[in-house]
Amino acid sequence: MPISEATPARAREIIARLRAEYPDAHCALHHTNALELLVATILSAQCTDERVNQITPHLFRKYPTAADYAAARPEELEQEIHSAGFFRNKAKAIRGMARELVTRHDGAVPASLEALVALPGVGRKTANVVLATHFGVPAIPVDTHVTRLANRLGLTETTDPDQIERDLQRLLPREDWSFASHALIWHGRRVCQARKPACARCCLRDLCPSAASAGAATPPR
């Protein structure tokens, strides 16, 4: 389905069904404050949320403030996060981000997209996770699940995260933005998986061009 045929009404129906299916959809990264969420999201790049959640309880106890991360010895922090993969780059990003928080924001995580993406190691997706999950600011974090499902559902025709974000913002009301991202991620993990989507038990199959092309578009139960 061309993106020109994707309508707000159809997008809202998709989100309504996902809301019925996953009423409690939320960020899977464990955290108690904005700094913890920011660190966890940096760690989650090319790593599972489950693995990050195994690492962070001890990490958060050892480094409770931005100043603690900023002062951390690189090799020590690298060891703490080693199992998250890409540990050197992630440790460098966390230390750089923390130094900027201390220097420019009195150690507090800012609540604006512009200020967040100005931090070392913080891209738009990471910033949107923090905005949507901690600060309650309408935002659409675009990860691999959102990218895959938005394309399969005919809501976008690109794999560029920034353009996908704009496409979804155009189709959905602001109050649905944050939930939409969480719900698409949950659905992508549970049903619409990358290698073998379970179209036969998908609540969206009659709305999905990909399911239709595979011959699975029957009315949902």
In the residue annotation, 68 being an active-site residue is answered as no
Residue 3, pLDDT > 70, answer no
Task: Please provide the average confidence, as pLDDT, over all residues in the chain.
Answer: 94
Residue 130 burial (CB count, 10 A): 26
Q: Averaged over 206-220, what is the pLDDT?
A: 68
Mean pLDDT, range 157-171, rounded to an integer: 97
CA distances from 21 to 7, 127, 146, 192, 220 (A): 21, 27, 17, 13, 12
Domain-wise residue ranges, the chain: 3-25+141-213, 34-135
Q: Is the pLDDT score of 1 beyond 90?
A: no
Confidence class of residue 214 from pLDDT cuts 50, 70 and 90?
A: low
Return the CATH fold of 3-25+141-213: Endonuclease Iii, domain 2 (1.10.1670)
Q: Is the pLDDT of residue 2 over 80?
A: no
Catalytic residue among 49, 68, 92, 143: 143
Range in 183-187, 199-203, 214-218 with the lowest mean pLDDT? 214-218
Among 90, 125, 167, 176, which one carries the catalytic annotation?
Answer: 125
Question: Residue range 60-72: average pLDDT?
Answer: 98
pLDDT at 62 over 70: yes
Is the CB of residue 119 less than 8 Å from the CB of residue 107?
no
Is residue 143 part of the annotated active site? The answer reads yes
Cα 142 from chain centroid? 6
* Average pLDDT rounded to a whole number, residues 87-113: 98
- 34-135: CATH, from 3.40.50.280, 2.40.30.10, 1.10.340.30, 1.10.510.10: 1.10.340.30
What's the full length of the chain, in residues? Answer: 221
Q: Give pLDDT, residue 217.
A: 43
